[in-house]
Structure formats: structure tokens, C-alpha cells
Structure 1
Amino acid sequence: MTRPEIPAYLHTPIYNRAIKARIDRGAFKNDVIVITGSASIELMKQKEFFPGRRGKGKDYIMLPLSFSEYVELIEKIKVFRGEIEEIDENFLRNGIYKEKLKVAFQKYIETGGFPLPIIDFFQYGKISFSTFKTYLDWLRGDWLKAGKNEKYMKEVISYIIRARGTPISWNNIASETSINSPNTARSYVETLESTFAAKILYFLSQKVDYKKNKKIHFTDPLFYYVFSNYCRESIDREAMIEGMAASIISRKCPVYYWRNSTEVDIICNKKEKIGFEITWGIKKWKKPRIIKKAYLLNRDNIHVYLASI
């Protein structure tokens, strides 16, 4: 009779040293190792200490629920979803759920894709103060572990909210905050991106231009509410929805933006450039030649499109 396998738990503050030495000795050749911790930045950084020692597995980043995941898990609507190239077909198929998806989208805008606010909303009809505090404390902890000053970070977040999704530069952020240095401003925004709280969209023409102004979005509606309360800034609803759409699309492809005499809010850069323009009002928009295909997402169809991704 073979002995049943019992999971072992190892608690160590400097896990990479403890794990790496044992991997080199072959101690874990038949094991699956799950490493967790409270600081996402450190976890992502320290995986670089294991070149050639991580087996044949894939990296899975546990992000908040996308809208299509939300409607399947929470609303129990089995939507057709897939890659960006399949969006036309899936959009037509999901048309039968249009009204249900519209109702679900309004809920998703209120909660985002994190578990605690979803539970709060269905139990109390709103997100509790303790939930806001939980997520803010988590982010603060990551900032501090990354060596960032909380006062400066608060100023940076406040400026991003006020920018309302318009392209800005590191110089803009530096001049509008106490930071003064563009390089330091950049490091603060990149820290937000490293914690998966923000997404930077760089300018894309024939190639990516990292020097031009960039769009900075928060990745989930919850972050807009948390940061709005934290900084005492009002939320621009259209900017929030654009950021949410950019975050969802970025799970399928690298995302950028383009602007000249007209603008493309989000460009999915795969074999062909596919553009998405977000509008919450009456807007005339013409597809620029830089993109092969374009979608205009508005209040009448955005819930069906995002459910199809």
C-alpha cells in the first residue's frame, strides 16, 4: 500500500534562495510548487531568479474578472467569447442576450471584477467602506515595498484621474506634482502598472513611439472608485469605461493608441492593426488609414462587444 501524498507547506521570507537550492539538487523534480505572497511586484520580479528551473508550465496571472467572465460566472449567461479575430461572429451570436448583457454591464461598472466588491454589491447593493480600504491597503503595501513615497503616489494618481484618458507625458506629471523629475514620475506610473492597477498605452504609428505622450488608464472600475475616494477626485465615466475596455482588450493583444487629426482610443496590434473607439455620446468618427479594421463602441453596443472577448 502506497502512502497517500500529503501537501507540504514551506514558509520562508526569502523564498527564492530556499527554493532555488533545492531545485538545483533535484529535490522537487516530481513536485508542483505554488508560490504566493502579498507583494505582486516582488513575486513577478523574483521569478527571474529561476531561469531554466521552472519546468514546462505556463505563467497564469490571476486578474480580476473580465466582463465576459463576469457574465458567465455571476449572471450565468453562456456567451460566445474568444480572440479579437472572432469578435464579429461572437458579437452576432451574443445579440440574443443584448438586454441581459446591458443590465449585467451596469452592475459590472459598479463592482469591477474583484470578488469582494461583487459580493458586497449583491449583499448590500453597494461596495462597503471596508472593501475599499482592503484594496487600498493592498496597493499601499506594494508601493511602499517598491520604495515609493505615498504622498507622491497620491499626487500622480490624482493627476491621472484629472487627465481623463487624454495623452500625457512624464513631464506633464512631473510639472503638476511635487516630484519634479520626469524619470521619477515615470517610475511611479510603472509601479502602478506593475501592480496591475494601471495600463500604459503608448503611441503607435508605423512603430511604437515611447517618447510621445501616452494614455494611462486604471485597469478595473474598482480602482477608479478606490482612487477617487483616496484622492477626492471625481470620476469621468467615459474615461473609466475606456480604461476598462483597454484592460479587457489587452488580455488578448498588445494595446496602444493613435492620434492625429482624429484619434483611435485603443489599437490592438496583432498581424493587422484593429482599432476601437469608445464614445458615450453622439460622435462622428472616421476610421483612419493606419488601421485595417475599426469598431465604434458606444452605450448601445459596448456590452455585447466586451462580452464577446
Structure 2
Amino acid sequence: MIEEQNPWWISPELIRENEYYRKYQESKVKWDVTLPVSLEPYSLNFLFGPRQVGKTTGLILLIKRLLDKGYNPKSIFYFACDKLADYKELDEVLEEYDKIRKKEGIKSSVIILDEITFPKEWFRSIKYRIDVGKFSNDVLILSGSLSMKAKGEIETFPGRRGKGEVLVMFPLPFSEYVKLFGINLPTGDLKFILENYTKYIGYLPKLKEILEYYLVTGGFPNAVKDFLIKGKVSQSTEYDFISGIISDINKLRRSERFFKLTARAIIERTSSEYSFHTISKDYGVGTVKTAISYVNLMEKLYFMKVIETMDANTGLPIPRKQKKFYFIDPFIYHAFSNWTMTKPPDESKLIEAVIVSHLSRFYDINYVKSNEEVDVIVKVNGEYWGVEIKYGRVRERRKVLGKVKKFIYISKEELGDDVIPAPLFLAMLKIPIVVKNS
């Protein structure tokens, strides 16, 4: 079983027999994913992300890069743990590889354990081996079901990560998505966009068309491939996504019903501010404590982002105030809408959700509720900037609000000083696919 999962041990060229690598190479729609893991021993790296976001493909591409750099093929050990029952079977696999590398005289390895959470109490084997020094010269990369984060299992490794990183892989952002259509615009932060967007207005018609596609597919690889090849996202892609979520919910011994009701609340009230009490009372998600726990679960599964209101005069969040809740990708909205039999948000609300989720990868964000609402507050080089999302006409512009001294207005098509159409704004906003979350 070990040799089957590591065909490059026979010849580096045989990595092409790996199913994920083969599908990646054969795909008419693909993009490169570089995982900024630490490759310096000793390192314990974790890789999280929503289901079907491309984590395993990213790991296989990493192996190809290591082989191309001249790594000893047998010093690269990959194992998908989804067929293992418990930590004892995992320990047997690791013991077997230990024998192989000792026989080969390998002193340092890159050990990639994919779907590590399938074996029950998997962490017992890993922690023991770390504590007795069996991995002291190695690089470990552990990728798993999202329940690894939701169960708090990563917290069982205090002081054991060495030089490792905690990475989160997100769906493809719009600035990378447009490259699939042959558009390569310069990207940067808010200040960069504000200083340069007028140079690229000629791209607007095409960017507007591509954004319409993005609002259907989001940045999930299978949904993107479906749409660009077939013109729509297949039911099987949505079904596989939801099935995986149900599997995680069951593993965590949580209520599928409460999860669906929470999802419905977020869909129906996207872009509005409300409280956990609303989710509990209006949608039947048990008590307020129960509603909080299911929102927290969705955050730990990297499906959504909760935005707190901020005091514009102090720059501090106000946790007890009402909040805003957004899913991080249009595909999640559509898949959850079909699952919960709820109409998805309209275009303007989906656009707002995309902008909020993109900015949240790069900045700490809040919003302000005063006489008039400020959709997003971000901190840029120590300064607070307001981002107003106006899909109607931008009628009035703010000059200052407490600590917020600068405002950008995101419009549907309108152009002007500090007014940037959403397709151009998103295409020029530099957003990473993989984020360090240490």
C-alpha cells in the first residue's frame, strides 16, 4: 500500500501516474497552487481549507517540485490516511516507512499525511513520535478534514510545531480567476488600486462579463471547471460538496438540521446586521448559545466570516453589538441555497459578500453603524479606510468619520474620484490563495 501511493520511489517520472496529478495535467482549466510550507527540519505544518478547494492537488504539485529540485524520491513520503481505522494503524504505516528509509540511509524526510483526521485519535501517534524525537530531522505536512480544526485537535500540539506553518487554502480569488480568461492586470492593496485603477478602465466590459461567471462558480476548482467546459455547475459537484459537509457534521456529532437552519439564516440575511438571538428565535436554531456554536462551527470550517461593528472614534470592535455574517464564496451560497431550498442572495448582495470575504483574507475588517452604515472598515498602514459598496448611484461621499479618514466607493459601473467599479476593483485586489494562519 505504501509503494502504491509513492510511485516516484521507482522513478520520479511515475508521479504522472498519481490520480490527482494526472487529472491536473489533463484538465483544460487549471491554475498553479504554491503551498508556502516550511521545508526546514524540524517542521510540523498543517494545511486547512474548505472541502474541494484543491488541498490534495496542491500537495501533489509540491511533491513534483521537490522531485524536480533533486530530492531523493524515497525521502518524500505521501500517504492518504482515509482507509486507516485508528492511530494504531497509522503508527504501523509510519513504522513501515521508518524501516524503508533506514534501509536506504535517509536521514531527513518530507512526510505528507493527507486526510490525517480519518484514523481515530490520529494525533496520539504523531505526538508520541514527535516527543521521542522520531521526526527531529523531518518536515511533516498534515492535511485533513476540516474537523481537525473544528475539534480543536491542532491545539494538542503546543510547542511541537518547530519551524512549521499553519496554512489555510481558500477558493480562487477574482484577481486570479480573470487570468483563466487571459487577463493579467497588476494587483496590489487598496492604496495601489486607488492610485492605478484609471489606467485599466478599458478592461471593464470584459471584467464585468467574467464577474458574472464568478458569481455562479466562485473559486472552487470543480465548479469553475464545470462552468467553463459545460456552461453550468453540475449537480454532482454540489452534491459531492454537501455530502462532505454532512460527513463532517456527523463526525463532529452535530445536528444537520441546526447547521442547515443556520445556513439558511445567513443566506436570507446576507449584508444585513443581526444578532445570534435572531438566528435562534427566527430560524429555530435552539438557544442563543446553540446559534453561537453553529456559527462558530461554520467559521472553523472556513465557510463564513463574521464581521463585528467598530467604534469609529476609537477604532475598537464592539463585540456585543449586532454583526454581519457572510459566506466566503458564491459557490457556497449556491450549494447551500439548493441544500436548504432557499433563494440565493441577489447580485448586489453576492458582490458585497465577495468583496468582504476577499478583504478579510488580507486585512482585519469591521463595519460601522452610525447615522449611515459603512460597509467595511480596513486598516491600511495604520490608517482606517472605509469601503462603501454602492450598487446604486454614489450620491454622497464622506470626508471623515472618527478615525476613518479615507473612503473608497465600490460601484456597479460608475466611475469617478474614489469610485471604482466592482469588476475592476476585485481584479486589481491582490489576494492570496493560501494564507498563513500561525
TM over 0.5: yes
Residues 306 and 326, structure 2, Cα contact 8 Å, conserved in 1: yes
Map of 1:289 onto structure 2:
401
- Structure 1 residues 30 and 90, CA, compared in 2 at 3 Å: closer, same or farther? farther
2:140 corresponds to 1:20: no
Map of 1:37 onto structure 2:
144
Q: Which has the higher strand share?
A: 2
Q: CA deviation at 1:9?
A: 4.2
Choose which of 411, 416, 420 in structure 2 pairs with 1:298.
Answer: 411
Which whole-Å deviations, capped at 9, do the CAs of 1:146-194 have from their partners, x for residues lacking one?
3321112212221222213210101111111223411111111111111
- Structure 1 residues 76 and 59, CA, compared in 2 at 3 Å: closer, same or farther? farther
Map of 1:264 onto structure 2:
374
The one-letter code sitting in structure 1 at the alignment partner of 2:360 is S
Q: CA deviation at 1:145?
A: 2.8
2:209 corresponds to 1:103: yes
Which whole-Å deviations, capped at 9, do the CAs of 1:183-221 have from their partners, x for residues lacking one?
111111111111111110001112111111100011100
Q: How does 1:1-309 map to 2 (within 5 A)?
A: 5-9=74-78, 11=81, 12=90, 13=119, 14-38=121-145, 40-43=146-149, 45-72=152-179, 74-205=180-311, 206=314, 207-237=316-346, 238-270=348-380, 271-287=382-398, 289-290=401-402, 291-300=404-413, 301-309=421-429
Q: CA deviation at 1:279?
A: 2.2
Which whole-Å deviations, capped at 9, do the CAs of 1:47-68 have from their partners, x for residues lacking one?
2222222122333211001111
Which whole-Å deviations, capped at 9, do the CAs of 1:87-130 have from their partners, x for residues lacking one?
32342454343333222212111110000000000111000100
- Structure 1 residues 89 and 144, CA, compared in 2 at 3 Å: closer, same or farther? farther
The one-letter code sitting in structure 1 at the alignment partner of 2:153 is Q
Which whole-Å deviations, capped at 9, do the CAs of 1:214-255 have from their partners, x for residues lacking one?
000111000110111112221222211111111000111111
Residues 84 and 252, structure 1, Cα contact 8 Å, conserved in 2: no
Q: CA deviation at 1:76?
A: 3.1
Deviating more after overlay: 296-305 vs 132-141: 132-141
- Structure 1 residues 29 and 92, CA, compared in 2 at 3 Å: closer, same or farther? farther
Residues 143 and 191, structure 1, Cα contact 8 Å, conserved in 2: no
- Structure 1 residues 210 and 285, CA, compared in 2 at 3 Å: closer, same or farther? farther
Map of 2:51 onto structure 1:
none
- Structure 1 residues 154 and 78, CA, compared in 2 at 3 Å: closer, same or farther? same
- Structure 1 residues 92 and 50, CA, compared in 2 at 3 Å: closer, same or farther? farther
CA distance in 2, matches of 1:134, 1:90: 41
CA distance in 2, matches of 1:256, 1:144: 33
- Structure 1 residues 28 and 169, CA, compared in 2 at 3 Å: closer, same or farther? same
Secondary structure class of the residue paired with 2:290: helix
Q: CA deviation at 1:283?
A: 4.5
TM-score, reference length from structure 1: 0.91
Residues 143 and 150, structure 1, Cα contact 8 Å, conserved in 2: yes
The one-letter code sitting in structure 2 at the alignment partner of 1:28 is F
Bigger radius of gyration, 1 or 2?
2
Residues 256 and 269, structure 1, Cα contact 8 Å, conserved in 2: no
The one-letter code sitting in structure 2 at the alignment partner of 1:295 is I
CA distance in 1, matches of 2:227, 2:393: 31
Q: CA deviation at 1:4?
A: 5.1
Secondary structure class of the residue paired with 2:143: coil
Secondary structure class of the residue paired with 1:61: strand
CA distance in 2, matches of 1:4, 1:112: 36
Secondary structure class of the residue paired with 2:257: helix
CA distance in 1, matches of 2:195, 2:125: 50
Residues 275 and 293, structure 1, Cα contact 8 Å, conserved in 2: yes
Q: CA deviation at 1:43?
A: 4.0
TM-score, reference length from structure 2: 0.66
Q: CA deviation at 1:69?
A: 1.6
Q: CA deviation at 1:77?
A: 2.0
Map of 2:56 onto structure 1:
none
How many residues are treated as equivalent by the alignment?
306
Secondary structure class of the residue paired with 1:33: strand
CA distance in 2, matches of 1:278, 1:168: 19
Residues 270 and 353, structure 2, Cα contact 8 Å, conserved in 1: no
Secondary structure class of the residue paired with 1:89: helix
The one-letter code sitting in structure 2 at the alignment partner of 1:126 is K
Residues 152 and 177, structure 1, Cα contact 8 Å, conserved in 2: no
- Return structure 1 stretches of 4+ with deviation > 4 angstroms: none
Secondary structure class of the residue paired with 2:232: coil
Secondary structure class of the residue paired with 1:209: coil
Q: CA deviation at 1:142?
A: 2.5
